[in-house]
Structure 1
C-alpha cells in the first residue's frame, strides 16, 4: 500500500504549480479541467508522475491554518529524495526560501518549505536503510 495523491484546495493553482514544478521537475500535469464543487466553479489539475500526484483545485477561501498554532488540520506532508541539496537548490533558484531545517541527525537531513498556499512541505534524504536509524530522535 502507498499514498497515491493528496488533494489540496488552494486560492491559485498556477502559483502552486510553479512551486511544485521546481521541486519535482520530472512530474507533469496529468490531467486538468474546470468543474463545480459544491456549487462553486473551480479549476483543477493533477500534477505528478504515473504513480503519485497532487490534486490541486483553486477558488479556495480564507487562509491556511496557522502552522505555529494548534488548530486542527494538516501540519505538513513530506517527500523522500535521494538528493536533498538539489531539491533545495531548485526551490531557492525559483524564489522560495527555506522555512526551517530539521535537527542535526547522522542518518537523515530534512528541510521545510512553505508552499504558496501556506502548506508546510518537508523534504528528507535518508543516509541509512536501517529503520531504527532512519526513524531515531537524536
Structure 2
C-alpha cells in the first residue's frame, strides 16, 4: 500500500510555517533545521510517519509567488487528518489565521480550510469512522 511520506514546499519564512504547524499539527517536531553556508535554509518538520520538507528561497527579495490557486497549474491545498478539529480551529482563529469558508460538517467527517501567513491553504479533516466507504462519500 502506498502512503504519503512528505511534501517539499518553498515558503517565504520557515519560522512562520513552524508557528502554523505547531497549532494545526501539534505532534509534529522539527527533525532537521539546516542552513548550509551560502545556501538557503531547509527544515524537516513532522512525526515518525510523515513530514514536510520546507525550504526558504535563497534570495527572498526576488522571490514572488505569482500562481493563482484553483486557476493555475500547481498545488491548491494540502490536507492533514487531525484529532479535535474544533480545538484546532479555535486556536488557529485566536492566533489570527484566516479560514477559507465555513466548517464543513458531514456525517462521518468535519473539514475546515485555513490560510497560513504565506497564503498557503491547508485543509484539516477529522474523521468519525475508519470505514473508507463512509469516510469518502462525495
TM-score by length of 2: 0.84
Show CA shifts across 1:36-74 (max 9, x none). 8xxx8311111111221111101262125222x410000
How far apart are residue 34 of structure 1 and its match? 1.2
Q: Which runs of 5+ in 1 are unaligned?
A: none
- Name the structure 2 match of 1:82: 83
Match of 2:65 among 53, 56, 63: 63
The residue aligned with 1:105 is 106
Match of residue 22 from structure 2: 21
User: Are 1:121 and 2:119 counterparts?
Assistant: no
How far apart in 2 are the matches of 1:104 and 1:28? 29
Give how far 1:102 is off.
5.3
Q: Does 2:135 align with 1:134? A: yes
For structure 2, which runs of at least 5 residues remain unmatched after alignment? none
Whether the 8 Å contact between 1:5 and 1:55 is mirrored in structure 2 is yes
Contact map agreement 2:113 2:124 (CA 8 A) in 1 = yes
